[in-house]
Structure 1
Amino acid sequence: MAPTYKLTYFDITALGEPIRFLLSYGGMEFEDNRIQKESWPTLRPSTPFGQMPILEHNGKVAYQSAAICRYLAKQVKLVGKNEWEDLEIDATVDTITDLRLKIGPYYYEQDEKIKEVKAGPIFNEIIPFYMEKLDAQVKNNNGYFVNGRLTWADLFFVAMVDYLCFMANKDIIANSPNLQILKENVLKVPSIKAWIEKRPKCEY
């Protein structure tokens, strides 16, 4: 029987990996359609808004990675127990996205002189600030982001952290013991561990 989900994204972790984590967590068979960068210009016009990842299911196409994750989180019961917890989860995911959007311009900067200027705030202010706040949040929630239990915010962060470290060219959680505990808690989930072991090797 063919998988009911088809995920299309580049052959990297980044925005596709939280979706892969959630599908794997739920034991959902999915087609992991990884396209090469040179194929993207041909595929792009057929996507809803000219971007990936996209998730196909029952003839429908979904876009926006966080929205896809939120949908899958409901399917696999990794959402909050009430609306307030859902708000806390969403806020955490949005905060992680904010961090990615702040690191991104540094990583993608081609002018080395400008990149050097951007490095100061990134490494001396922005990353330490976010790591301190997120680490404290996990400490206050017994190894997780929200209410002391596993939610999709935890999977989202751990799935994204390799990409964040790649862009920063450093281990951004090296000095964040509670975020390291969070990562361990997620990676020891049997279905996530199995995915990590079998997923294709890629640059980041």
Structure 2
Amino acid sequence: MSSTYILHYFDGGGRGEPIRWLFAYAGQDFVDNRIELREWPLMKPKTPFGTLPYVEVDGQVLGELGTILRFLARRFNLYGQNPWEEARIDEIMDFVKDRRAAYPRYVQAVFFENQPEMAAQAKADYIDQAPLTLKKLEEILAATKHGVLVGTQTSLVDISVAYYFYTLERFKKGILDDYPTLRDHGSKIWNSDGIQKWLRKRNLSFW
């Protein structure tokens, strides 16, 4: 019997969207429970750590984005083929996470606090961080020689990084033009059947 998955997050992209992309790429059905902002104050104390997203898996509750992604990736055979590859996946994901910290600030400023000046600064910071991040990812990708960031097959880190590229392109169209190998890498994920199906139907209030 297959497992039942429920994702709890706001009606937007933000921190919930990488989980949706992972479900979509894996071809795994899930319930996308979208929380309205007016519901959040009452719901917050009932969540595992007072934050979203969290998931329910066969009735068991799991919070924290990174933990959720790793748990699901293991289940979907998208977390490397040995402990070393798992560690490399974590390493690269932590590297990117540290350098995209401005994105949550942007989402917070735009959709929760209505602070356009803060949003503009967060957007600028996000774009300014990109070149050094993209250069390092380009080096990592070139070194593997398999068209993926770790090992010989697509894994969680490829999907997560492709979503990072996707948000960058939303902020600044053409930002990947100087990084053709990364653009091609992202395109393989974006154009996969699962992700394309998700992008056509997701209908989010904000991204």
Q: TM-score of the superposition, structure 1-length normalised? A: 0.83
Instruction: Supply the distance in 1 between the matched residues of 2:69 and 2:10 (Cα, whole angstroms).
Output: 17
Please report how far the alpha carbon of residue 98 of structure 1 lies from its aligned counterpart in structure 2 after TM superposition: 0.8
Please report how far the alpha carbon of residue 67 of structure 1 lies from its aligned counterpart in structure 2 after TM superposition: 0.8
2:76 matched residue in structure 1? 76
Residue 144 (1) aligns with residue 148 (2): yes
Residues 146 and 48 (structure 1), Cα distance of their counterparts in 2 relative to 1, 3 Å cut: same
Instruction: Find the residue that maps to 1:29 and give its secondary structure.
Output: coil
1:170 to 154, 172, 185: 172
Please report how far the alpha carbon of residue 103 of structure 1 lies from its aligned counterpart in structure 2 after TM superposition: 4.9
Mapping of 1:113-128 within 5 angstroms? 119=124, 123-124=127-128, 126-128=129-131
Instruction: Supply the distance in 1 between the matched residues of 2:89 and 2:4 (Cα, whole angstroms).
Output: 27
When the two structures are aligned, how many residues end up with a matched partner?
200
Residues 106 and 12 (structure 1), Cα distance of their counterparts in 2 relative to 1, 3 Å cut: closer
Mapping of 1:98-137 within 5 angstroms? 98-105=98-105, 108=109, 110=115, 112=117, 119=124, 123-124=127-128, 126-137=129-140
Mapping of 1:151-166 within 5 angstroms? 151-166=155-170
C-alpha contact 2:103 2:123 (8 A) present in aligned 1 = no
| Unmatched tracts of structure 2, length 5 or more | none
Instruction: Find the residue that maps to 1:14 and give its secondary structure.
Output: coil
1:189 to 169, 187, 192: 192
Please report how far the alpha carbon of residue 70 of structure 1 lies from its aligned counterpart in structure 2 after TM superposition: 0.6
1:31 matched residue in structure 2? 31
Instruction: Supply the distance in 2 between the matched residues of 1:151 and 1:38 (Cα, whole angstroms).
Output: 36
C-alpha contact 1:3 1:29 (8 A) present in aligned 2 = no
Residues 197 and 93 (structure 1), Cα distance of their counterparts in 2 relative to 1, 3 Å cut: same
1:60 matched residue in structure 2? 60
| Unmatched tracts of structure 1, length 5 or more | none
Please report how far the alpha carbon of residue 118 of structure 1 lies from its aligned counterpart in structure 2 after TM superposition: 9.6
Query: What is the letter of the counterpart of residue 159 of structure 1?
Result: Y
Please report how far the alpha carbon of residue 192 of structure 1 lies from its aligned counterpart in structure 2 after TM superposition: 2.4
Superposed CA RMSD: 3.0
1:50 matched residue in structure 2? 50
Instruction: Supply the distance in 2 between the matched residues of 1:193 and 1:72 (Cα, whole angstroms).
Output: 20
Please report how far the alpha carbon of residue 159 of structure 1 lies from its aligned counterpart in structure 2 after TM superposition: 2.7
Instruction: Supply the distance in 2 between the matched residues of 1:28 and 1:69 (Cα, whole angstroms).
Output: 14
Q: TM-score of the superposition, structure 2-length normalised? A: 0.82
Identity percentage of aligned residues: 33
C-alpha contact 1:8 1:33 (8 A) present in aligned 2 = yes
1:94 matched residue in structure 2? 94
Instruction: Supply the distance in 1 between the matched residues of 2:31 and 2:106 (Cα, whole angstroms).
Output: 33
Q: For residues 7-40 of structure 1, what are the alpha-carbon distances to aligned partners after superposition, in whole Å with 9 as ceiling and x for unaligned?
A: 0101112211221122223332211011122221
